[in-house]
Structure 1
């Protein structure tokens, strides 16, 4: 019998329990799945970092902690967590992120805002460039960033992707390292941020980086709030260096009601909705990792504790 503790929040139990049971049944596992279980008998923890469970010390038999989120920055530094930690890859996250980024990229590329809000009933507009004439840069080429970059290229955009380590992605110009970062930013007209939140990426989009973008560029951040120096972004918006910023993630969430992003005409705030794990598909990812653990196979999507993701 494999004992599985669901510690991803009581409000998520009703959504997750049925598909988890179905996926575990399909995997042919004998299991017990519950929200409450003696720590010493738990084999796996299905987890979300906002869970009440923050001390992993009592879970002496636990083989892995399986995160239901893609982000692990809120748990990766927990000193009591000595078990393997796997992040969520798949589970509807990729599809949701691609749709969000494509939608807002096309919105800015086509100048839709001016057509939607047109109080003067202006008729004559200059046509936008074709996608092939629009330079787009994606910072971060993990599972989400690589798929987003490919889909943007598939629409026809001239896409450059940047990552810390070398990557190869069909149809995408890829750069890496510190020198590659400046080159990736220089002249970009749409910038998409899909990096993890680590000490190395905090404020990666600062005043110096913003100045490298094409004047009037659009910034889309569905990655992590600390990637952006908020004050530098506001200054760049006020100067016209940045034309508009669509922001889905913030240093503090929910975004405080008095934050200047809410009132700035050059900012669109979305409430961290770009990508969410869907229980129906995420359950299959969890079940696969449990099946691998029980078979003595390596877990998928393990977090590199030194890198932080």
Structure 2
């Protein structure tokens, strides 16, 4: 039972200490340490090379060190290797904080007040109650559900959309492509938390974003590949959309001359909405390895055919 870790060295140091103290029966190696590739059953990595995978003949599980798995070339992975995304409390907590911040900033017209401040204008905007501002979340996995639960106490009417049917108390849930127009038409603030797959790439485009009510706003905390950038810019400039909070882009980082940097209706952050906490992630990984040893279902395992 040996794990190979190939990511950030500082996180690797913390993981090694936790494995030694709490799971000493599981061998832990990072890429700098001599190890026998034939003994490696588990790999924890962000974007492992095909050469690395090919050099681990007994690899059984590839663990992502983050919540996403779109950085993996799934077609290049041997079919017997199971893929698991990271589910740990720090990721959900960070996403809840960021999505709540973004939704409240848009709800309370922070973009308008930022622009007024630049111009030294004292320009109060009539307050709209939370009960009058509808928020919808695309993607009803662990993160989407956590965000909706956090927003519920404010009194926003809440809805959600996913590929397959879900149910949440206090949330109007929609499922499937046919339900997407009705979902979008009822979103004054749209939060994207979808996984990035072939089916969801480019889903935030003129066709879909135009279905939002005039004056609606977007929060993208999924992946940059979900968004067709020029379509967003056009809809902002046409005033169909009133603003956007973007934590993910394609590419990352953006080039210095990209129009997102200076656009007055965009708040841009450098993919910081949610970060894996080293200590809780190590313990989540140990728990999943224990599940595998016991023949129990693994938390966060990806259905290879769906991509999430």
Q: CA RMSD in A?
A: 1.9
Alignment of 1:150 with 2:145, yes or no, is: no
Q: TM-score of the superposition, structure 1-length normalised?
A: 0.91
Secondary structure of the structure 2 residue equivalent to 1:166: coil
Alignment of 1:90 with 2:88, yes or no, is: yes
**Structure 1: stretches of 5+ with no match in the other structure:** none
Q: Is the 8 A contact 1:225 1:250 kept in 2?
A: yes
> What residue in structure 2 maps to residue 213 of structure 1?
212
From 31, 34, 38, the counterpart of 2:26:
31
Q: Distance in 2 between matches of 1:53 and 1:270?
A: 31
Secondary structure of the structure 2 residue equivalent to 1:125: coil
Secondary structure of the structure 2 residue equivalent to 1:235: helix
Aligned residues: 303
How far has the Cα of 1:54 moved from its partner? 5.0
How far has the Cα of 1:20 moved from its partner? 3.9
Which region of structure 1 is more displaced relative to structure 2, 37-46 or 267-276?
37-46
Secondary structure of the structure 1 residue equivalent to 2:251: coil
Where does 1:253-272 land on structure 2 (aligned, <5 Å)?
253-272=252-271
> What residue in structure 1 maps to residue 171 of structure 2?
172
How far has the Cα of 1:206 moved from its partner? 1.2
1:165-191 superposed Cα distances (whole Å, 9 cap, x missing partner): 000011111001112111110142101
> What residue in structure 2 maps to residue 64 of structure 1?
61
How far has the Cα of 1:22 moved from its partner? 3.8
Q: TM-score of the superposition, structure 2-length normalised?
A: 0.92
Alignment of 1:21 with 2:28, yes or no, is: no
Q: Is the 8 A contact 1:93 1:275 kept in 2?
A: yes
Alignment of 1:80 with 2:77, yes or no, is: yes
> What residue in structure 2 maps to residue 118 of structure 1?
117
Q: Is the 8 A contact 1:9 1:48 kept in 2?
A: no
Secondary structure of the structure 2 residue equivalent to 1:132: helix
> What residue in structure 2 maps to residue 105 of structure 1?
103
How far has the Cα of 1:150 moved from its partner? 2.0
